[in-house]
A and B are shown apart, each in its own frame.
Chain A
Amino acid sequence: MNPRTRLALVVVAGTGLAVLLVAACLRLPRFGGDSHPYGDRAVHTSLARHTANTVASVNFDQRAFDTLGEMTILFAAVVGCVVLLRQTRDEHRARPEPADVTPPVRRYALIVLPIALATGLYVIAHGQLSPGGGFQGGVVAATSLHLLYLGADYRALERVRPVGLYEVGDAVSAAAYVVTGLAGLIGGTAFLANTLLPYGTFNTLSSGGTVPLLNAAIGMEVACAVVVLLARFLDQAVEIVEESGK
């Protein structure tokens, strides 16, 4: 199809879609309205189970099974990327060259690295209390390690980041989530039902029953997954070269 016909088709279809979507928007509940039946019930349940961060309660308690699916998607995507970005037969690994980094960049990266890592771990640990949680903190913690790549070079990053260990960590934390769910079955309730552990004192680190456990498992899984993903992409960019050409 030539570009002109395609553009014409896109304009016609896009206009139709736009009309339908705008018509749907006009019938939606008023923006900022007061009627949020699910939200009100979620807040109520969250407070009854001593979880200060309602979003964490929704993710790791009320919709914990859904989060299991979400975690599985992440896990499957990591496996998919590892398979897609593997070293093929006509490629070999080149030793990455040591690189020069300007002193201000190096200094900034090395100062920020521990702060960013501590922030990530803090966000994971306080997921049931304050905004954030395993997903957000995991990404921050995993990204902070890569400041070493910016501040020093790829070899320094490889020394602190044995990818095999993170692959194991990814699988272990995914399993930990399922095991925490199964503990509910053994305890005589239901899979991933948050009725096994005491709910603790509201607004303390140990409150919320199984929410902190599942939150920590997700934090570790996300951190490991991001490290493995970025390692595969960086390998492609830095280490793996084709035999012929280049």
Chain B
Amino acid sequence: MDVLPYLVAVWIFLAGCYGLATSRNLIHAVGCLSVCQSATYVLLLAVGYRDDATAPVFSDIEPGSRPVVDPVVQALALTDVVVGATVTALLLALVIQVGKRHGTVDPDELSELRG
């Protein structure tokens, strides 16, 4: 039972990988990459969790009165979200241009090079 949150992260990651490998549409593939990335959020937050702890924000709790979860991994998850969003934006921009130039977003039909 203790490893269940980690296994959830593994499962999400593998589901995203499966989607990436079998994708027939580049927009769908970008979505699958986001699924892979969300596995890292689950893993990070699972690593930082502490039993019976609350958020590491002291505006409404007395410091030291309650255990708090690890703020370092939460900051890392925030970095992760930002990088994920930028990667998604860049990839979608590329997909738009691929769609315009080649008339298809199916990766299997994009095999030949075109100048």
Contacts and interface: CB of A to CB of B under 8 A. Distances in A.
A98 interface: no
Contacts of B7: 22, 25
Contacts of B110: none
B57, B83, B92, B100: which has the most chain A beta carbons within 10 Å? B57
Interface stretch (A115-123, A127-135, A154-162): A127-135
B71 A39 contact: yes
A54 B49 CA distance: 15
A63 B49 CA distance: 20
Contacts of B89: 77, 81, 229
Contacts of B109: none
Contacts of B18: 10, 14
23 contacts: A6-B21, A7-B21, A21-B13, A22-B7, A25-B6, A28-B47, A29-B47, A32-B51, A33-B50, A36-B48, A36-B50, A39-B50, A39-B56, A39-B70, A43-B71, A52-B57, A52-B59, A55-B57, A55-B71, A70-B79, A77-B89, A84-B90, A85-B97
What 9 pairs across the A-B complex have the smallest Cβ distances? Answer: A39-B70, A77-B86, A25-B6, A54-B71, A54-B56, A58-B75, A32-B51, A84-B93, A10-B21
